[in-house]
Amino acid sequence: MNFDATFQVQTFDDIDVWVGIATKALSLEPIATIGLRELIVNAVEHGNLEIDFDHKSALLAAGEWQDEIERRLATGDLGNRFATVQLTRDDHEFTVQITDQGPGFDWRSHLDPDTAPTHTLHGRGMSLAMGAAFVSVEYRGAGNQVVVRGLCAPDQDS
């Protein structure tokens, strides 16, 4: 099955709908579904809404994370941003390109095992995606774009 679509997501509800579509269209294994979702959440939360690691830590500790997400989504400048998710499936391979409208981040430091978060309440999304059995996960440019390539699980309908 070939498939080519582009989606725009702004909220976590949008992400969940898109991930459901992608899981079916790409015949993703559960770990790949989780990894892909984490990357899109990062695009919205850290990219578009510009909540950095330390600020998220403080918000989680204070029990204010959800309120801050809703507040930022309601503002004109950040709330109007969206992440673009381009999905292509050709036979048994797929590519997903996720691009947010944020300023980017130093993604290289998050890929280094010596500096990547491991024992925190959050911050493991990138590591989880990297370990999700994708063929490749490639960050580009300023860090506001990631391209994931993978193999589709065999169709259950075949």
pLDDT digits (tens, 9 = 90+) for 113-150: 565 555 454 455 556 666 667 888 899 989 899 999 99
pLDDT at residue 96 tops 70: yes
**Cβ neighbours for 53, distance < 8 A, ≥ 6 positions apart:** 46, 117, 122, 123
What is the C-alpha to C-alpha distance for residues 50 and 106, in angstroms, rounded to an integer? 13
CATH 3.30.70.1290 fits 3-151, yes or no: no
pLDDT one-digit tens code per residue, 47-57: 999 998 889 98
Q: Say what the pLDDT of residue 133 is.
A: 72
Whole-model pTM?
0.85
pLDDT one-digit tens code per residue, 24-77: 988 888 888 888 998 999 999 999 999 988 899 899 999 999 999 999 999 989
Q: Say what the pLDDT of residue 115 is.
A: 56
Whether 93 and 32 have beta carbons less than 8 Å apart is answered as no
Q: Say what the pLDDT of residue 158 is.
A: 43
Which residue do the tokens 């695009």 mark? 43
DSSP, res 46: I
DSSP, res 131: T
* DSSP of 82-111: -EEEEEEEETTEEEEEEE-SS----HHHHH
Q: Say what the pLDDT of residue 117 is.
A: 55
Q: What is the dihedral of CA 134, 124, 23, 46, to 10 degrees?
A: -110
What is the C-alpha to C-alpha distance for residues 125 and 117, in angstroms, rounded to an integer? 10
